[in-house]
Amino acid sequence: MAEATSAPGGDELVDHTASNDNYLTHGKGILSWLFTLDHKRIGVMYLVAILSSFFLGGVFALVLRTELWTPGQTIMTADTYNKMFTLHGAVMIFLFIIPGIPATLGNFVLPLMLGAKDVALPRLNLASFWLWLVGATVAVASIVIGAVDTGWTFYTPYSTTTNTAVTAMTLGAFILGFSSIFTGLNFIVTIHKMRPEGMTWFRMPLFLWGIYSTAIIQVLATPVLGITLLLLVAERTLGVGIFDPALGGDPVLYQHFFWFYSHPAVYIMILPAMAIMSELISVFSGKHIFGYKFIAWSSIAIALLSFLVWGHHMFTSGQSGLMNMIFSALTFSVAIPSAVKVFNWLATMYKGSIRLAAPMLYALSFLFLFAIGGLTGLFLGSLSVDIHLHDTYFVVAHFHYVMFGGTVIAFLGGIHYWWPKMFGRMYSERWAQVSAFLIFVGFNLTFFTQFVMGSHGMPRRYYNYLERFTAYHQASTVGSFVLALGFFIMAGYLLHSLVAGEKAPANPWGGATLEWETTSPPAYYNFKNEMRAGDPYDLDALRWDPSIKGYVRKDPSSVLLSTGEES
Amino acid sequence: MTALHLAQMLLARIAIAPDPEDGSFWMPPQVSTVAHSVDWLFNFILAISVFFFILITFVMVIFVLKYRRREGQTAQDSPSHNLPLELTWTAIPLVLVIIIFFFGFKGFLDMATPPANAYEVMVEGQKWNWSFTYPNGYVDENLHVPVDRPVQLVMSSADVIHSLYVPAFRIKMDVVPGRYSKAWFEATQPGEYDLFCAEYCGTSHSDMLALVIVHPPGEFEIWLEKASNFLETMSPVDAGRKLFQVRGCTQCHSMDGSAKTGPTLLGVFGRTEQMADGSSITVDENYIRESILEPNARVVAGFEPVMPTYQGRLKDAEIMAIIEYLKAPTGASQEE
Amino acid sequence: MSDREHASNDGMAVDHHFENADQQYQSAKLGMWVFLTTEILFFGGLFVAYAVYRGNHPEVFVFGHHFLDKNLGALNTVILICSSLTAAWAVRAAQLRQIGMLKLMILLTIVFAFGFMGVKAFEYNGKWKHGLLWAGQYDPHLEDHGETSHEVIGEESAEDAHIEIVTEETIVEAIEAQPAADPNRSTIEPAAEGPAGLAAPDLVAADETEVEIEPANAQTYFSIYFLMTGLHGIHVIGGIGAFAWLLLCARRGDFDGGHFTRVDMVALYWHLVDLIWIYLFLLLYLID
């Protein structure tokens, strides 16, 4: 599918109207989508697939929270409940949040931010998507043939001896792992080899630093998950005895293998979210990001340090005191770069010109919720306190605050930010505010009480619980339904915008990164001209143009390498 | 800034109740020697967290209000980096986390170092009950300990990984098959406290509870003496009932007619059962004994072969007591 | 990279999203190196498992490796090194547009790869016949009593271990006297007594070197052996497929213009497969 390198001619340097022939309309029929090499179409397909997974994982969550309305049986048996929380975790993690931002917004935005026509390896990109489809199908099939009841962590020996569909689910996760690896590989190559003129490493938008750091983790950590799951399958099917004490194996070795991937994995989740935050805070404060270099380096630092702390999931596993001490110390080190990023974002807002558009509402929510999530990590990193809090609801609350209150909220902010670019439509700002408010309130109601339950000793993964925890659980369940309402409203106004939303200008928000220099939605070839990068946070280079209700560059030629000549 | 201070003090007051032995907003009562240091560190981290959280939120709200975009207004000139500031706000958190780490590590060392004269109790976790073996060989379903005396638990699992957790003592340790793990504590107040399994282990993970009964001075020895002699002091039927309860049989076998993981044993003696292989047997003393020692040799149809063996874990006298209990007429076996 | 190599990549069809052929080549190369890094980490998990178990139970590995034939292992190592040579030669041939040589080298590489798999199949078969499989299936026995004893313990390796082979019956007794891996058996270390056969006093060699007895959990060695060589074998098969594809491409004339990227990438992969085998040979076969 080698398209001509030249683009349709024209004297206009920037096209301000939505193109009638854009990537969405270029090529019709389902096959033109399934076999596309266009990163934008792949990104959109991923978006649909991943949001569907979020819906599925969310359904499991509502179901299990309903069961927890009362101690003892409410609507299901213990075995069913155990499957519900396992599937909630497995679907949310492997199908939704790990691919999450990189596969959707990363795929769509990365080449555009580089002024490029596509990622470096488009066929590999399509392969990644197909692998996601296959892996997700296998995982969903495992749900249908009996589901899994081990918890998403599949600890041995329970996972090697239970008679649920563990093998199928782990094979699904194994395949999904390769999807993640290839996406990371692609992004590394693209960022190394396809930056435009003028975009040195320290002139890259911070969104790309975040995606790049994430890609490093995807590429280094996921293979270890692969071998771990393979060993688990071998244990179940062949009885290789690696994790079975009766055959000379060590069940705790599984935990080391598993967490060696799964701890870096949580940084696969949060780094892209932080990457989005840098864009949102800067653009909606109308100001250059504060502390660019530190934010860039901190992303790399977090990626590398994340490999050194896996043992903090295992403080009570019986590992030696020395190991515990080393892991605790290193865990605190990884907290510092994250904290400093938050200060940098706040400093960006100082003396800014702040607009509370929907993306910014999510960015502010992120600051609030991620602060809580990150700070509660301090409790869990300290040895003596973690002994008490490990495997309680305190941990559940902590990771939901960072993964949901952090990653998902930033993801929503990114979706609302790049929605006009992706689909050429604006959505209802008012309904977006309603939805953001419900999600914020619902989220806190769902998860804050879980901190208190946890420190009082309420263990996690509990179907039944002591009477005295009932009020906490009920508050949490009510909150989960408020959350659900917020999401339904969001689905409503976003889908509505696709058919009836106001047409979006090329640059509705005033961003200075290169994706805003092309039409909304972009043409299939992305840019008419060869692009050159300026300072990605030089927001003063833009001005509001009321006639198109969008921003334009004061000097359009500053981002063009050539003015209309074909290369 | 005074308002900020006030707010923080108020929050701290909510967080830390005046009398820690009653528990606080965040924590259960402090009933062991290490609980105090754990709670102290928790509150220290809480104070730091509340401070930074309020700071961040406060600054965020102030900035949104003060720098809200007004018509025609753009951002004011301000630097986009400031090395002294960035170093400061890196260094201060770094110092704070080092302090937190240090206290956490110190507290952990105390929790991991049992005193020399600790009273040892063996613990076995299995799906889904705990059994505690005292130094004289007596086995109970609950953990009885004397107050003000260090107790060391030597633990192993019969099947999957479990975890022994007593919130009131602030202790937790995984219980792993194929090896022994240890935890110690010294209880400081008599009373009854919850003991949970804290590592997911299957269907009845959330029912794998036990009690820790801390006896006032002098009473523990009396209790142990009395409890250990139950085979002599109780009738075989009553002893069998106790064993049935304490050794975890009730987790899987009901005495009220309902099928659980295993068949109900209400009126089981003399009953004709269909086996999984199609044969049928009449339940007699021999079958009961076989079911206890080789449980998966002949399994009742419709049930999984998941019962663990009690070979080496029940004495012959105990097996006989259980058989007597199961033989007893329904009236006698109603009480559990 | 020499100018000559640059030159021969010019004129090749460049995908539309690349600025030039060099960017395309550089991207492919970086992509392949990143992929190889992921493969190293993938195998790395197994190497860590090896290190953990050998660190905790060195006697299991010392015992187990006697059942591997060092000569076959060495043969396989030589085979793979030769195949790496032919693969590298293939790249050079592609760069120089020597299509005939290219096809020959690809073919030889495939032949060597099949040779490797053949030797492995022979080894696996031997293990299977004697029940020397991974833990769950570990059940050591002689195939039948008519076999000579050297099929159970390679004569050479038995000499290395200073086990004196008395009669085949003794060996059968010795091995069958070991309890098979049994889920109900205790994990507490067994008593220090060895089985009647091998530890019988008349078997101690004159120079009083140690006598080998099967340690507890000997089956762990075989689990690790099959996992590592099995995963490696799957990668060899993948390599055969890739080279076969290259052969088809060569026949089709894809490399006539000197565009050697594909050959280069597959050869890189193959070199890693070779390197991993060398480590396996060292760690599994050459334990003394």
Are B176 and A339 in contact (CB < 8 Å)? no
Instruction: Give a yes or no: residue A5 inside a domain.
Output: no
Q: In this predicted model, what pLDDT tens digit does every residue of B102-112 receive, in sequence order?
A: 999 999 999 99
Within chain C, which residue ranges are assigned CATH 1.20.120.80? 26-132+226-288
Residue C38 near chain A (CB below 8 Å) = yes
Instruction: Give a yes or no: residue A21 inside a domain.
Output: no
* Residue C194: predicted pLDDT: 34
Q: Which of A55, A423, A77 is nearest to B258 (CA)?
A: A77
Report phi then psi at A410, rounded to 5: -65, -40
Nearest chain C CA: its distance from A208 CA (Å): 18
* Residue A88: predicted pLDDT: 97
Cβ contacts (< 8 Å) between B28 and chain A: which residues?
456-457
* CA atoms of A129 and A132, how far apart (whole Å): 5
Q: Which of B90, B105, B172 sits opposite A390 (nearest CB)?
A: B172
Q: In this predicted model, what pLDDT tens digit does every residue of A335-379 receive, in sequence order?
A: 999 999 999 999 999 999 999 999 999 999 999 999 999 999 999
Residue pointed to by tokens 């334009």: A552
3-state SS string over C63-80? HHHHHCCHHHHHHHHHHH
- Residue in chain A lying closest to C47 (CA): A227
Q: Which of A151, A328, A379 sits opposite B105 (nearest CB)?
A: A328
* Strand B119-126 to B150-157 pairing: parallel
Q: In this predicted model, what pLDDT tens digit does every residue of A166-190 receive, in sequence order?
A: 999 999 999 999 999 999 999 999 9
Q: Is the dihedral of CA C109, C111, C117, C122 positive or negative?
A: negative
* CA atoms of A480 and A483, how far apart (whole Å): 5
Plot region of C220 (φ>0 → left; ψ -120 to 50 → alpha; else → beta)? alpha
Output the CA–CA distances (angstroms, integers) from residue C249 to C94, C99, C181, C241, C254, in the order listed.
12, 11, 50, 12, 5
- Span of A10-24, A304-318, A378-392 with lowest mean pLDDT: A10-24
What token pair was written down for A228? 């771990």
* CA atoms of A430 and A445, how far apart (whole Å): 23
Cβ contacts (< 8 Å) between A185 and chain C: which residues?
31, 34-35, 38
Half-sphere exposure of B248 (CA within 13 A, CB side): 24
Q: In this predicted model, what pLDDT tens digit does every residue of A96-106 receive, in sequence order?
A: 999 999 999 99
Q: Which of A186, A193, A239 sits opposite C136 (nearest CB)?
A: A239
Three-state DSSP class for B120?
strand
Beta bridge partners, B151, equal B119, B185
CA angle A116, A120, A121 (to 5 degrees): 135
Q: Which of C41, C49, C183 sits opposite A220 (nearest CB)?
A: C41
Q: Which of A311, A387, A454 is nearest to B34 (CA)?
A: A387
Are A343 and B73 in contact (CB < 8 Å)? no
Which positions 63-122 of C are in contact with A (Cβ < 8 Å)? none
Three-state DSSP class for A179?
helix
- Span of A30-39, A72-81, B137-146, C8-17 with lowest mean pLDDT: C8-17
Mean pLDDT of chain A: 93
Q: Which of B49, B81, B172 sits opposite A291 (nearest CB)?
A: B81
A13 pLDDT band, cuts 50/70/90, is very low
Q: Can you give the residue range of the structural domain that contains A173?
A: 30-559
User: In this model, does residue A109 exceed pLDDT 70?
Assistant: yes
* Residue A270: predicted pLDDT: 97
Chosen for mutation from C33, C178, C223, C234 (greatest number of chain A CBs closer than 10 Å) is: C223
- The domains of chain B are located at 1-17+25-61+88-113, 119-228, 233-333
Q: Which of A251, A336, A382 sits opposite B45 (nearest CB)?
A: A382
* Residue C69: predicted pLDDT: 92
Instruction: Give a yes or no: residue A564 inside a domain.
Output: no
Are B80 and A288 in contact (CB < 8 Å)? yes
Q: In this predicted model, what pLDDT tens digit does every residue of A233-248 receive, in sequence order?
A: 999 998 888 898 888 8
* Residue C145: predicted pLDDT: 40
Are B63 and A356 in contact (CB < 8 Å)? no
Instruction: Give a yes or no: residue A210 inside a domain.
Output: yes
Total residues found in chain A within this entry:
567
Nearest chain C CA: its distance from A193 CA (Å): 6
* CA atoms of B96 and C271, how far apart (whole Å): 49
* Strand B150-157 to B181-186 pairing: antiparallel
Q: How many CB pairs under 8 A join A and B?
A: 262
Output the CA–CA distances (angstroms, integers) from residue C112 to A141, A362, B313, C235, C269, in the order listed.
40, 59, 59, 14, 15
Nearest chain C CA: its distance from A517 CA (Å): 18
* CA atoms of C183 and C135, how far apart (whole Å): 10
Are C39 and A219 in contact (CB < 8 Å)? no
Q: In this predicted model, what pLDDT tens digit does every residue of B151-176 receive, in sequence order?
A: 999 999 999 999 999 999 999 999 99
Output the CA–CA distances (angstroms, integers) from residue B332 to A43, A148, B257, in the order listed.
70, 41, 15
Q: In this predicted model, what pLDDT tens digit does every residue of B242-280 receive, in sequence order?
A: 899 888 888 789 888 888 889 999 989 999 999 988 899
Nearest chain A CA: its distance from C29 CA (Å): 9
Q: Is the dihedral of CA B328, B329, B333, B335 positive or negative?
A: negative
Instruction: Give a yes or no: residue A17 inside a domain.
Output: no
The answer to whether the CB of A449 falls within 8 A of the CB of A475 is yes
- Residue in chain C lying closest to A233 (CA): C227
* Residue B229: predicted pLDDT: 87
Q: Say if domain B233-333 classifies as CATH 1.20.140.10.
A: no
Are A257 and C227 in contact (CB < 8 Å)? no
* CA atoms of A282 and A373, how far apart (whole Å): 23
* Strand B210-215 to B143-146 pairing: parallel
* Residue C34: predicted pLDDT: 97
DSSP-assigned letters across all residues of B242-301: HHHHHTTGGGT--SSS---SS---TT-TT-EEEBTTS-EEE--HHHHHHHHHSTTSS-BT
3-state SS string over A197-249? ECCCHHHCCHHHHHHHHHHHHHHHHHHHHHHHHHHHHHHHHCCCCCCCHHHCC
Cβ contacts (< 8 Å) between A252 and chain B: which residues?
176
Nearest chain A CA: its distance from B286 CA (Å): 29
Q: Is the dihedral of CA A527, A529, A533, A536 positive or negative?
A: negative
Q: How many domains does chain A have?
A: 1
The secondary structure of residue B171, as a DSSP letter, is E
Start-end of H helices in chain B? 2-15, 35-66, 83-112, 219-228, 230-233, 236-246, 285-293, 316-327, 330-333
Cβ contacts (< 8 Å) between C19 and chain A: which residues?
567
* Residue B8: predicted pLDDT: 58
* CA atoms of C17 and C24, how far apart (whole Å): 9
* Residue B79: predicted pLDDT: 86
Question: How distant is the alpha carbon of residue A120 from its chain centre?
Answer: 22
Cβ contacts (< 8 Å) between C223 and chain A: which residues?
240-242, 247
Q: How many CB pairs under 8 A join A and C?
A: 138
CA angle A444, A447, A450 (to 5 degrees): 135
* CA atoms of A122 and A193, how far apart (whole Å): 14
* Residue B1: predicted pLDDT: 47
3.10.620.30, 3.30.470.20, 3.90.180.10, 2.60.40.420: CATH of B119-228: 2.60.40.420
Topology adopted by domain C26-132+226-288 = Four Helix Bundle (Hemerythrin (Met), subunit A) (1.20.120)
* Strand B129-133 to B119-126 pairing: antiparallel
What token pair was written down for A166? 């563990």
* Residue C16: predicted pLDDT: 86
Instruction: Give a yes or no: residue A567 inside a domain.
Output: no
> What is the arithmetic mean of pLDDT over B67-86?
85
Cis peptide before A521 (omega within 30 of 0): yes
Residue pointed to by tokens 């078969």: C125
Cβ contacts (< 8 Å) between C39 and chain A: which residues?
223
Interface pTM, i.e. ipTM: 0.92
Instruction: Give a yes or no: residue A239 inside a domain.
Output: yes
User: In this model, does residue C207 exceed pLDDT 70?
Assistant: no
Which positions 79-138 of A are in contact with C (Cβ < 8 Å)? 111, 116-122, 124
Report phi then psi at B157, rounded to 5: -110, 150
The secondary structure of residue B77, as a DSSP letter, is P
Q: Is the dihedral of CA C241, C242, C245, C247 positive or negative?
A: negative
- Residue in chain B lying closest to A158 (CA): B160
Are A219 and C34 in contact (CB < 8 Å)? yes
Instruction: State which H helix or E strand residue A553 sits in.
Output: strand A550-553
Output the CA–CA distances (angstroms, integers) from residue B302 to A541, B260, B277, C221, in the order listed.
75, 11, 11, 39
* CA atoms of A281 and A539, how far apart (whole Å): 12
The answer to whether the CB of C175 falls within 8 A of the CB of C152 is yes
Cis peptide before A157 (omega within 30 of 0): yes
User: In this model, does residue C144 exceed pLDDT 70?
Assistant: no
Beta bridge partners, B196, equal B165
* CA atoms of A490 and A336, how far apart (whole Å): 34
Residue C125 near chain A (CB below 8 Å) = no
Are B68 and A354 in contact (CB < 8 Å)? yes
* CA atoms of A311 and A318, how far apart (whole Å): 11
Q: Which of A251, A375, A390 sits opposite B53 (nearest CB)?
A: A375
Cβ contacts (< 8 Å) between A325 and chain B: which residues?
105, 108
Give the pTM: 0.87
> What is the arithmetic mean of pLDDT over C4-10?
42
Taking residue A25's Cβ as centre, other Cβ atoms within 10 Å add up to 12
* CA atoms of A229 and A310, how far apart (whole Å): 17
User: Residue A409: which CATH number?
Assistant: 1.20.210.10
* CA atoms of A516 and A282, how far apart (whole Å): 15
Q: Which of B112, B108, B128 is nearest to B197 (CA)?
A: B128
* CA atoms of A30 and A35, how far apart (whole Å): 9
Report phi then psi at B315, rounded to 5: -75, 160
Report phi then psi at A320, rounded to 5: -65, 160
Chosen for mutation from B102, B205, B208, B307 (greatest number of chain A CBs closer than 10 Å) is: B205
C185 pLDDT band, cuts 50/70/90, is very low
What token pair was written down for A42? 């792949």
DSSP-assigned letters across all residues of chain C: --HHHHHHHTTS---TTSSSHHHHHHHHHHHHHHHHHHHHHHHHHHHHHHHHHHHH-HHHHHHHGGGS-HHHHHHHHHHHHHHHHHHHHHHHHHHTT-HHHHHHHHHHHHHHHHHHHHHHHHHHHHHHHTT---GGG-----S-TTS-GGGTS-HHHHHHTTPPP--HHHHHHHHHTSPPP-TTS--SPPPS---TTTT-GGGS-TT-PPPP-PPTTTHHHHHHHHHHHHHHHHHHHHHHHHHHHHHHHHHHTTTTT---HHHHHHHHHHHHHHHHHHHHIIIII---
